[in-house]
């Protein structure tokens, strides 16, 4: 529930035209043909204050926090403007589907989700618009970045070779991050200034400065308002330069400034873990009877009860499955589903299968496909690290390229935008 509430506090609001603002609502920043007003900034900042208190990151001074929030609002506003030019929209039907899934993931109904949001002091209508904006921005980023990224077979093979050689396959890191960005067309003095500031911040951290607090005050990264928290990332999902900098460090260590195309980075290893891709697999078989105009639910259930008795009396499950099962995917194999990973079937099927002991046959039960009986044949623990290496490599390379390109694109569209600050105290340093 906590993660759901944190999500609800990342406040995004619909764009409005100049004429929509009342005269008493002071304009803070002009962003292309749009504006951010004092009321919007105050409301967004109040939301982040609540979020920071929940995460024990409330040391931030007022003006620095306001600047960070304003930069986040500007980035969001620019992206929504770009999405509007592309004609990207999220209708109410699509939005409702996402909200229903969000509620389901948190084991809530949509009505319970609405009450939980309101209990945290945010109207559900604003939460809906926030979610709509998030989805629009996600679609925009996929269109301009992710869908244009290609991964070659040669890159995959080289990645696997390098990844195994560096022994990083099974390591994950919980990282915090500070970014001091430089413009795309940075002059030598811009780069030098960013480097000196990064070195100064690194010295401050080494002398006992709180990393999260420094990230809140100085980072230009997208996670600055989370104290720079990047969450848990597999080593092979991180930029190569990051992995090279942290691979020999211990939990709690901080890297010296790292140079990249987007600026200078400082990383802190909060925790590292080593793990393998191990899953518990089940080998089972089933018989499916579908219901419809010719077969009622009771008839399907009675048929399966009869078949279960015959199996218990000595008849072969496989032969009866070939005769009676209406699952075309497994019928010819005697109902055999092969080795399956958790979550491969609908929840009703998984729940029954997971409760059975090896060799047991279930009572008839209903799913969205009809009525079933299941027999579990055996179970095993499977290390799929190598088996999944190709798919994982492609996904990781694509994600890594997308992240790097996204940072460059965000910086580029910011530089291309007309941004005029009406309050000099809020101009970023």
All structural domains of the chain: 2-144 (1.10.4030.10), 148-276+387-426 (3.10.50.40), 278-383 (3.10.50.40)
Q: Given this model, what pLDDT does residue 320 score?
A: 96
What pLDDT does 48 receive?
80
What secondary structure does DSSP assign to 163-216, as a single string? HHHTT-TTEEEEEEEEEEE--TT--HHHHHHHHHHHHHHHHHHHTT--HHHHHH
Contact 61, 49 (CB under 8 A): no
Tokens of 209: 């400065």
* Nearest CA among 365, 373, 386, 74 for reference residue 222: 74
Distance from C-alpha of 290 to C-alpha of 276, rounded to nearest angstrom:
40
Q: What is the pLDDT of residue 164?
A: 55
Which residues, 6+ apart, have CB-to-CB distance to 216 below 8 Å? 52, 57, 59, 60, 64, 65, 68, 224, 225, 227, 228
What is the pLDDT at residue 285? 96
Structure confidence at residue 419 (pLDDT): 94
pLDDT of residue 11: 37
3-class SS of residue 242: helix
Q: Which residues fall within 8 angstroms of residue 267, CB to CB, at 6 or more apart?
A: 175, 176, 177, 178, 242, 245, 246, 254, 255, 258
Angle formed by the axes of helices 297-312 and 317-324, nearest 10°: 150
Cα separations (Å) of 410 from 46, 71, 185? 25, 12, 14
pLDDT at 315: 95
The structure tokens listed for 143 are: 């269109």
β-sheet with 258-260: strand ranges across: 229-234, 171-181, 263-274, 258-260
What confidence score (pLDDT) does residue 13 get?
37
pLDDT value of position 276: 64
CB 304 within 8 A of CB 291: no
Phi/psi at 279 (nearest 5 deg)? -130, 155
pLDDT along the chain (429 residues), means of 10: 41 40 73 93 85 63 86 94 94 90 87 86 86 94 87 85 58 92 86 93 94 92 90 85 88 94 93 78 95 92 96 95 94 94 90 94 94 95 73 83 89 92 85
Q: What share of the chain is helix, strand, coil (3-state, %, to 5)?
A: 50, 20, 30
**How high is the pLDDT of residue 2?**
42
- Please tell me the pTM assigned to this model: 0.52
Q: According to the model, what pLDDT value does residue 376 have?
A: 96
Q: What is residue 426's predicted lDDT score, i.e. its pLDDT?
A: 86
């Amino acid at each position: 529930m906590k993660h759901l509430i944190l999500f609800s506090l990342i406040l995004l609001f619909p764009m409005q035209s100049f004429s929509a603002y009342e005269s008493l609502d002071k304009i803070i920043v002009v962003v292309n043909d749009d504006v951010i007003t004092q009321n919007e900034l105050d409301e967004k900042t109040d939301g982040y204050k609540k979020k920071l208190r929940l995460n024990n990151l409330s040391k931030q001074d007022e003006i620095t926090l306001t600047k960070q929030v304003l930069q986040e609002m500007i980035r969001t506003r620019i992206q929504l403007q770009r999405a509007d030019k592309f004609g990207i929209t999220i209708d109410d039907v699509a939005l409702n589907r996402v909200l229903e899934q969000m509620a389901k993931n948190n084991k809530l109904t949509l009505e319970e989700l609405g009450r939980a949001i309101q209990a945290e002091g945010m109207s559900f209508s604003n939460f809906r618009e926030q979610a709509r904006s998030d989805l629009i921005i996600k679609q925009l980023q996929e269109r301009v970045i992710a869908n244009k990224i290609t991964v070659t077979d040669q890159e995959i093979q080289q990645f696997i070779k390098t990844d195994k050689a560096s022994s990083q396959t099974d390591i994950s890191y919980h990282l915090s991050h500070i970014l001091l960005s430089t413009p795309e067309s940075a002059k030598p003095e811009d780069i030098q200034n960013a480097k000196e500031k990064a070195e100064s911040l690194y010295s401050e951290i080494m002398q006992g400065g709180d990393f999260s607090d420094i990230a809140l005050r100085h980072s230009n990264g997208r996670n600055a308002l989370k104290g720079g928290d990047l969450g848990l990332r597999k080593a092979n999902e991180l930029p190569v330069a990051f992995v090279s900098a942290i691979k020999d460090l211990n939990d709690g260590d901080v890297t010296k400034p790292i140079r990249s195309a987007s600026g200078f980075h400082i990383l802190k290893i909060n925790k590292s873990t080593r793990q393998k891709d191990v899953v518990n697999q089940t080998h089972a078989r089933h018989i499916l009877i579908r219901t419809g105009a010719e077969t009622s639910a009771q008839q399907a259930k009675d048929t399966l009860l009869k078949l279960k008795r015959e199996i218990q009396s000595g008849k072969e499950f496989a032969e009866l499955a070939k005769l009676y099962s209406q699952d075309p995917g497994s019928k010819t194999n005697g109902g055999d589903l092969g080795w399956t990973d958790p979550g491969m079937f609908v929840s009703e099927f998984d729940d029954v299968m997971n409760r059975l002991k090896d060799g047991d046959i279930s009572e008839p039960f209903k799913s969205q496909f009809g009525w079933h009986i299941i027999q579990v044949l055996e179970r095993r623990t499977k290390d799929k690290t190598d088996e999944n290496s190709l798919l994982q490599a492609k996904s990781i390379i694509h994600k890594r390229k997308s992240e790097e390109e996204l940072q460059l694109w965000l910086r580029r569209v910011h530089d291309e935008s007309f941004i005029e600050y009406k309050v000099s105290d809020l101009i970023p340093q």
